[in-house]
């Protein structure tokens, strides 16, 4: 199988279910930013404590669900939803529970944070900013009437909060390879 198809050479791509759009389409901007967030989380996961590593891996998997929703045209959303692989309220609740759990383990800073105390927390902070950008892209879709599931926006909002808390937790406990230094 060849990795290149040449189908995108003219600046277009396929959404899920085959609709062809410009690569600059707001939907592509949204799911492309989710893809960036998955990669940024992968970098962060590389140096996080094992407990955080496991959570971040699950979040990366969740973001594939988010990306699939964003890559699905509205007219095909019922097909995707029928498969059950959409963002659901319980996913948002799971993030809230994690925020509460890890938030209780740290003292929340009352001032702006300058990232960089540890590689893990700095990488998480980068991931958080990418997730915030993804959230803005999803707001654009929503304003255009192109967001089928409001839970996606809620999920991304809670996710950035969770990543902030996990970064502060990593600052408390240190990097995975260098705990507590």
Tell me the per-residue pLDDT of 93-129, one tens digit each, with 9 for 90 and over: 999 999 999 999 999 989 998 999 999 999 999 999 9
63 vs 57: CA distance, rounded Å: 10
Residue 9 maps to a domain: no
122 vs 116: CA distance, rounded Å: 5
Tell me the per-residue pLDDT of 142-172, one tens digit each, with 9 for 90 and over: 999 999 999 999 999 999 999 999 999 999 9
The domain total for the chain is 1
46 vs 92: CA distance, rounded Å: 25
Look up the domain containing 167 and give its range.
Answer: 20-106+113-173
pTM here?
A: 0.92
Residue 179 maps to a domain: no
Residue 7 maps to a domain: no
* CATH of residue 98: 1.20.1200.10
Cβ neighbors of 125 (< 8 A, separation 6 or more) are 113, 115, 163, 164, 167
Provide the sign of the torsion angle of the four alpha carbons 136, 157, 63, 85, taken in this order.
Answer: negative
Residue 96 maps to a domain: yes
Residue 10 maps to a domain: no
């Amino acid at each position: 199988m060849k990795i290149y198809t040449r189908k995108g050479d003219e600046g277009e791509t396929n959404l899920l279910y085959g609709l062809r759009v410009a690569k600059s389409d707001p939907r592509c901007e949204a799911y492309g930013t989710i893809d960036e967030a998955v990669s940024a989380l992968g970098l962060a996961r590389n140096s996080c404590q094992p407990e955080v590593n496991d959570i971040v891996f699950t979040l990366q998997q969740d973001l594939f669900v988010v990306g699939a929703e964003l890559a699905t045209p509205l007219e095909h959303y019922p097909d995707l939803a029928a498969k059950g692989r959409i963002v659901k309220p319980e996913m948002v609740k799971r993030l809230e529970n994690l925020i509460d759990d890890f938030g209780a383990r740290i003292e929340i800073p009352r001032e702006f944070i300058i990232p960089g105390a540890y590689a893990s927390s700095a990488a998480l902070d980068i991931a958080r900013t990418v997730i915030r950008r993804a959230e803005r892209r999803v707001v654009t879709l929503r304003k255009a009437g192109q967001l089928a599931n409001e839970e996606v926006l809620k999920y991304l909002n809670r996710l950035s909060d969770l990543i902030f808390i996990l970064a502060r937790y990593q600052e408390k406990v240190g990097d995975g390879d260098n705990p507590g230094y």
